[in-house]
A and B are shown apart, each in its own frame.
Chain A
Amino acid sequence: MKFLALIRLTLRELAAKATFIILAAISTIVLLGLAAAVGTTTTPDGTVLQVFGQQASPPMPEDQIAEAIRGMQAGLAGGLFTGIILFGIFATAGVIPDALEKGTVDLYLSKPIARWELLLGKYLGAVAAIFVNVLYFMAGAWIIFGIKCGVWDTRILLSTFTITYMFACLYAVVVFLAVLTRNTPVSIILVYLYLFVVGPVLQNRETVLFLISDNTIYRSFIDGLSYLFPQLDAMRTNGAKQLLAQEMDWKPFLQSFLSASAFFLGGAVLLKQRDF
């Protein structure tokens, strides 16, 4: 009940924010564009893929059309993931610092809830808000591809969970930073710094950081550091594989779960120590 109340409060908080409304509006515009753009037409030689009424592929059998659609869906999911990372983090980063503000945190913590419960409730609320947004987009895309192209592939619906999971892993890092700094702009800057600078450098450590030294301890440290954070790139690659009906590697998902748990736990421990 208490978790549900916290999740509901967080959903209301986010629904009241302009950034979240903009996110939903962008999703709607993209879906309308998609509905206007894609389509198929049947010719005696096979089915032709159309974009804005123009022929976009040679006549193909049904299974090849489905494969081409899956490719489009994978591209769409990748784009959505990037959008969610950019806008979703921006829209939800304030959830924890706002809850920890003087005058608000007193109200929460004077209730019979533990501090980690407050943190978890707020975390789940933000993740639930992103889930609703991703589901809205993915379900819309699924219906559009189904109606206009005749491809009713449920993998695109499953990717709602994959994208939300990836966001949830990253959001655990945001939660840690938010508890540490209690400042929304600083949390956003730090997480973007990780996403656009630290993350890519660690991702390409073999061609960047390993050139600095061949010392084993140094390289092990860099390796360890890269595994400390959620493996967003590897998860995104595997997310696309899911849509393309290819075999997925679950290791990055498991490793990211452990990393996210560690960050969340770190945030909970920090919060437990804090005086308000």
Chain B
Amino acid sequence: MIAISTSHLSKTYTAGFRGKRQIHALQDFSLDVESGQIFSLLGPNGAGKTTFIKILLSLTRKTGGSARLMDFPVSDHKARRHVGYLPENHRYPGYLTGEQVLHSFGTLSGISGATIRSRTTSMLELVGMKEWRNTKVKKYSKGMMQRLGLAQAMINEPDLLFLDEPTDGVDPVGRAEIRDLLKNLRTRGTTIFLNSHLLSEVELISDRVAILDRGRLLRVGTVDELTSSGERYHIGIEGTLPEAFRTEAAAKVLSFSEAKNGLTIDVESIAGLNAMIDMLRRHHVQIINIVKERSTLEESFLNLIRREVSA
């Protein structure tokens, strides 16, 4: 089942005198997110990540294309019945206690008072806020607000959870707890749509990742697909490379770089790798292992964005 489906979605803001300046926040954005996944949206500041979430939640109107949530058009407020949302920089009324926040926003989600009461304790326990349930929100720290926000987003046991920077202000232990919580929700079948700047965390939990820049979708794929660095291999060898090998490689214009206990090569195809192995063997170099190299999600992201900027 598809939880989120957008087709040729676009959003253009007008600015300046008489709206003459146009800002394309999203352009021809088509994306499908399957149910039960942790899907992350990455992009530099101003890429259109928050605009995308806001269109899906009908906080912002699209200027073109279509968008559906759980098979409802996003303009239909019933679509949000099974949705939870933790916005970035959320503000809960300071005069409410944590428990009252859950009760108030739970009621707005359309669930009964009895259900909310039965879930409140477990939700607060889940996010480590049980002992602060009767404290006024205005006394909460940033990290505590994030935890409460997460409990609020989950109070209606949503099928689809939007989290905008969920670990912002949370300490490393808390971040690990939130990661475990999200993994647990995934096993229950909840779709999680994550918007985060912490790429190392995204890498740890995401099933699929989309990268966007200046409103355009650059790449979508699994973390593995996005982090494999093309055809780059590390060949582990015993001893050092003989001089004759270097001379022949230079003559055949085969580029390589020497690395610890071996060499790294960039090849266009698997044939290139085999040619290098043949040459090493001809020079009696003992090959220990061959490993296809991967980059981190952060490196892949930065490479992609840099390529996009230079293009």
Q: Check: B166 CB closer than 8 A to any chain A CB.
A: no
> Nearest residue in A to B136 (C-beta to C-beta)?
A16
Q: Check: B92 CB closer than 8 A to any chain A CB.
A: yes
Cα separation A105 to B61 with both chains bound (whole Å):
15
Cα separation A109 to B105 with both chains bound (whole Å):
11
Of residues 100 through 146 on chain B, the ones whose CB sits less than 8 Å from some CB of chain A are: 100, 104-105, 107-110, 112
Q: Check: B90 CB closer than 8 A to any chain A CB.
A: yes
Known contacts A9-B93, A102-B89: A112-B104 contact under CB 8 Å: no
Assess whether B95 is in contact with A16, with CB atoms less than 8 Å apart.
Answer: yes
Among candidates A102, A103, A112, A275, residue contacting B77 with C-beta atoms closer than 8 Å = A112
Cα separation A106 to B112 with both chains bound (whole Å):
22
Assess whether A112 is in contact with B85, with CB atoms less than 8 Å apart.
Answer: no
Known contacts A1-B107, A111-B105: A104-B91 contact under CB 8 Å: yes
Q: Check: B54 CB closer than 8 A to any chain A CB.
A: yes
Assess whether B107 is in contact with A110, with CB atoms less than 8 Å apart.
Answer: no
Annotate A19-50 by CB proximity to B: 1 below 8 A, 0 otherwise.
00000000000000000000000000000000
Known contacts A8-B104, A103-B87: A111-B109 contact under CB 8 Å: yes
Assess whether B59 is in contact with A12, with CB atoms less than 8 Å apart.
Answer: no
Sort chain B's interface into a size bin.
20 to 34
Q: Check: A107 CB closer than 8 A to any chain B CB.
A: yes
Among candidates A4, A16, A273, A276, residue contacting B59 with C-beta atoms closer than 8 Å = A276
B200 nearest CB across to chain A (Å)? 26
Cα separation A9 to B100 with both chains bound (whole Å):
10
Assess whether A112 is in contact with B95, with CB atoms less than 8 Å apart.
Answer: no
Assess whether B87 is in contact with A112, with CB atoms less than 8 Å apart.
Answer: no
Sort chain A's interface into a size bin.
20 to 34
Chain A residues near B49 (CB-CB < 8 A):
none
> Nearest residue in B to A104 (C-beta to C-beta)?
B91
Q: Check: B58 CB closer than 8 A to any chain A CB.
A: yes
Chain B residues near A106 (CB-CB < 8 A):
54, 57, 59, 85, 87, 90
Annotate A74-114 by CB proximity to B: 1 below 8 A, 0 otherwise.
00000000000000000000000000011111111111111
Q: Check: B292 CB closer than 8 A to any chain A CB.
A: no
Cα separation A108 to B101 with both chains bound (whole Å):
12
Annotate B38-69 by CB proximity to A: 1 below 8 A, 0 otherwise.
00000000000000001001111100000000
18 contacts between A and B (CB under 8 A): A1-B107, A1-B112, A2-B108, A12-B100, A13-B93, A15-B95, A16-B93, A103-B90, A104-B91, A106-B59, A107-B85, A107-B91, A110-B57, A110-B85, A110-B87, A111-B105, A111-B110, A112-B109
- Interface residues of chain B, those whose CB is within 8 Å of chain A, are 13, 54, 57-61, 77-81, 83-85, 87, 89-96, 100, 104-105, 107-110, 112, 152, 162
- Interface residues of chain A, those whose CB is within 8 Å of chain B, are 1-2, 4-6, 8-9, 12-13, 15-16, 101-114, 273, 275-276
